[in-house]
Amino acid sequence: MLFDRKELSDEQLVYFYRSLLWPRMIEEKMLVLLRQGKISKWFSGIGQEAIAVGATLALEKEEWIMPMHRNLGVFTTRDMPLSRLFMQWQGAKEGYSKARERSFHFGSREHAVCGMISHLGPQLAIADGVALAHKLKKEHKVALAFTGEGGTSEGDFHEAMNVAAVWDLPVIFIVENNGYGLSTPVNEQYRCINLVDKARGYGMEGVQIDGNNLLTVYDTIKGVREFCIKHQKPYLVECLTFRMRGHEEASGTKYVPQDLFRLWEQKDPIKNYEQYLLDTGVLNPATIAEIRNELKDKIETELAVGFNTQPVVADTEEELEDVYQSLDDSLPASARLFDNSHLTPDNRHLTPDTRHLTPDKRMIDAIKEGLHQSMQQHSNLVLMGQDIAEYGGAFKITEGFVQEFGKERVRNTPICESAIVGSALGLSLEGYKSMMEMQFADFVTVGFNQIVNNLAKIHYRWGQNADVVIRMPAGAGVGAGPFHSQSNEAWFTHTPGLKVVYPATPMDAKGLLIAAINDPNPVLFFEHKALYRSISGPVPEDYYEIEIGKARHVREGEEISIITYGSGVHWADDYAAEHPEISIDILDLRTLLPLDYFAIREAVQRTGRVLILHEDTLTGGIGGEIAAWIAEHCFSLLDAPVMRCASLDTPVPFNTELENNFLAKARLDETVQALLNF
């Protein structure tokens, strides 16, 4: 192994040695503790430490890194104290995630380390978002993300690489190619000769290096960083290496030929670098012994602190509160670069000024106005979506925006839904707000993992918010068939950490969209396509909010309460107008997560008979959850069973006759009559 020190001083070489040795010695101690039963699990990076350490040394300390579960060297090189890391690994409250995560599934804004989820690919797109933020701010910074050779088989790898290339983002992708994805060898993982060859297919530069040579890794990443900043381009670095332990300790290494261990033992990154320092006289055996003894003592001192933790006591109130970032939480330091004075607690919850109503506006125009005013209000708001720039989006809601706000803030995206959701989260790390338009809500399936596992959980896991709104054009009634007509809101109401909003009127659509953009938490904003141009109503001209989580009492009634949202509000209102002989009370939920349980209880109390109406299919729809809650909490107020009226449990058919039969509206009358006659 050849080492080239270039301009590095002796002091730097020694510092690099200590940085490389530190995670190795920690790991060796962790393996002892694992055998003693003092820790429960360990993912070893022994044999490939040079990549994490060298790459981290080559970056500025405030540049975000997206590590994986075998990158202890990232955390230690960023000077995260072992005592607290150990608390984290132990599942102690004093760790980085309040005992909610184990291993390396956590992040730290202070150290610019973004916590991973178990899936291998999503980290890459977050790096895209961070790099985009640097590009927008004109900062000379990069973002760096790790993945393994197995992770390159995932769609997230393809999407993140493609977006980075198309948008010319200063992001570094490191592939740690250690030959095995758990037990699957590379010849069963891909057919290209070298993974770095994939770079050319995305129109980016790439290089393959010896990942066990610390100085090669450092010098390469340092040079790549300079390239990315100068040319505003991404770069792929394939680091050849080997892990000397199993995927995790319980899995063992029986599937690996013993010859490979003998070969890679000779390429050990620490032994070779140490020998280089001895050969060049930078260190001598006595100094090395001193360093090792010093680090050994430091480990014992830090572990004594790390073991000294209090038993975890569950606090239900704290657990629930930490799912979402409070609207009154102070903004992260990075967000102070923007004018956020309008987000102060004194004026955040604006209310509609009904003294200044415009003539009736269509819902689509109200949404456009809310989005437009939000772009004026927030200089850090970025819009992303397929065809949303010059074309104005599939429904023309953003038409004209690119001319006013520019292509940096109104961004056409490749067809990479997962990567764009991940990029939105990356923007949030750097204090940006983002709105992503799913061209149709049906297409959210290919971004599902990023939404339910990354956006939704990140604040609960390590206190990082996801300031992201995803607009979801949804619903049937327009003859668009099974892939452009679904009502899929219930997929997300089951996911703590998300907020799910579904307006039924133009006034609510504008105010709720503004509130969603002001909210620091991830919001899925459902818009019914059939209501875009068919529904009109008064809309205040001003910039105002409708509070998320508050239902709207639409109509007073005494005989039956219809609890609904979206298109169901209009079905119910039309039905009530056509049947004046029935005194119908109507509640528009407006927000599906969190639900307004107080308003639901009041609706039950007003009539004692409840019908839950929604366009979503019956089984698994949110109506079942609401009915169960009413049965548990309002049983004494009921005069009849709670009934549901929903669409058929089939895909949405294309033919309009079949579609009309599919929709819940077709069964509204018979359900109302059944409830009244009970």
Pairwise CA distance, residues 265 & 243, whole Å: 10
Which residue is listed with tokens 């169901």? Answer: 568
Q: Which helix (H) or strand (E) holds 578?
A: helix 567-578
Instruction: Select from 35, 146, 20 the least CA-distant residue to 77.
Output: 20
Pairwise CA distance, residues 602 & 304, whole Å: 56
Q: Any bridge partners for residue 591, and if so which?
A: 501
Pairwise CA distance, residues 232 & 456, whole Å: 31
- DSSP structural state of residue 178: -
Pairwise CA distance, residues 197 & 238, whole Å: 9
Of 69, 134, 459, 484, the active-site residue reads: 484
Q: Which helix (H) or strand (E) holds 195?
A: none
Pairwise CA distance, residues 89 & 535, whole Å: 54
* Helices 285-307 and 10-35, axial angle in degrees (round to 10): 50
Which residue is listed with tokens 């109401």? Answer: 493
- Integer-rounded Cα Rg, in Å, for the chain is 28
- DSSP structural state of residue 324: S
Strand runs labelled E in 110-190: 143-148, 171-177, 180-181, 184-185
Instruction: Select from 540, 576, 535 the least CA-distant residue to 557.
Output: 576
Print the SS3 string covering 202-264: CCCEEEEEECCCHHHHHHHHHHHHHHHHHHCCCEEEEEECCCCCCCCHHHCCCCCCHHHHHHH
- Check whether the bond before 594 is cis (ω within 30° of 0): yes
Active site residue 484: yes
Instruction: Select from 289, 162, 171, 326 the least CA-distant residue to 237.
Output: 171
Q: Any bridge partners for residue 436, and if so which?
A: 384, 470
Q: Report residue 469 CA to chain centroid gap.
A: 11
Catalytic residues: 484
